[in-house]
Structure 1
Amino acid sequence: MDSVILKTAIRFLFPLLLLSSVFLFLRGHNEPGGGFVGGLVASGAIALYAMAHHVAAARRVLRVSPRVLIGSGLLLSLSCGVAPLLFGRPFLTGLWMKVATKGLGEIHLGTPLLFDLGVYCVVTGVSLVFVFSLLEE
């Protein structure tokens, strides 16, 4: 599609959509959102970019193959499920650690956040495989 209006709009919408995707991903730990919704918003942003600037340009912006995103997301989610087994806990039990930072204080990081990151990667990768294959036809 060769639309000046779409190319101009995506110049402003693309960073906003990616930022809202990260916001939804981080918000989903305690409230609605998370890896699934954040991944859909990210893939929607990249799909809009692909419609405005063609699939090859969108692949260059993504810098990683969608299939690599799927594989790494699955591996990350699986490792977050298996990690508690090494400590004698049940599968998918949350493991937490405290990280002290300057300015933010103590941050609690855990395997649920990494599991959500894996879901984010899988959803983004699967959605983009579908979108890219449809747009390349």
Structure 2
Amino acid sequence: MKINDVILQTVTRIAVFIILTMAIYLFISGHNSPGGGFIGGLILASAFVLLCLAFDIETIANGIPLDFKKVAATGGFIVLGTGLTAIFFDVPFLSQTHSYANLPIVGKTALSTVTLFEAGVALAVVGVVVTIISSISEDV
């Protein structure tokens, strides 16, 4: 018997947009204030969990055709890469650096390797959490 969850599915479409916006904000503001890749990744994964509650797993898998195990591995390699890159410049592992650049539209902007590290953490967290949630939901 198919249950008609029109209200839940409609609210989920709006809520996921809000959740994703909050996750991006927390990711971007993470190196200057509370937040970062870990909490941004957890919030991104919570959007996926909400989608799984409102829709079935097959619909979500068709809408987001990613292998989240590969997403987690990519995040891990990015984190490892930012750490090992420091060794090539004769500084300790995971040392970070930053500089300023004049971008065409934005103007003077700070660029940092911390952002790459946080992106790797976010991808690893999203990949692991979504893999766990999808494997649990397939067993039910």
The TM-score normalised by the length of structure 2 is 0.91
Q: Which of 4, 10, 13 pairs up with 2:12?
A: 10
Aligned to 2:58: 56
The TM-score normalised by the length of structure 1 is 0.92
Superposed, 1:113-132 pairs within 5 Å as 113-132=115-134
Number of residue pairs aligned between Structure 1 and Structure 2: 137
AA matched with 2:65? R
Aligned to 1:26: 28
In structure 1, C-alpha distance between the alignment counterparts of 2:112 and 2:85, rounded to whole Å: 11
In structure 2, C-alpha distance between the alignment counterparts of 1:22 and 1:63, rounded to whole Å: 21
Identical residues among aligned pairs (%):
30
Q: Once the 2 structures are TM-superposed, how far is the Cα of residue 103 of structure 1 from its aligned partner?
A: 3.2
Q: Is the 8 A contact 1:2 1:52 kept in 2?
A: no
AA matched with 1:92? L
Unaligned runs of 5+ in 2: none
Unaligned runs of 5+ in 1: none
Q: Once the 2 structures are TM-superposed, how far is the Cα of residue 59 of structure 1 from its aligned partner?
A: 2.3
Over alpha carbons, which structure has the higher Rg? 2
What's the secondary structure of 1:136's corresponding residue? helix
In structure 1, C-alpha distance between the alignment counterparts of 2:60 and 2:99, rounded to whole Å: 37
CA RMSD of aligned residues (A): 1.4
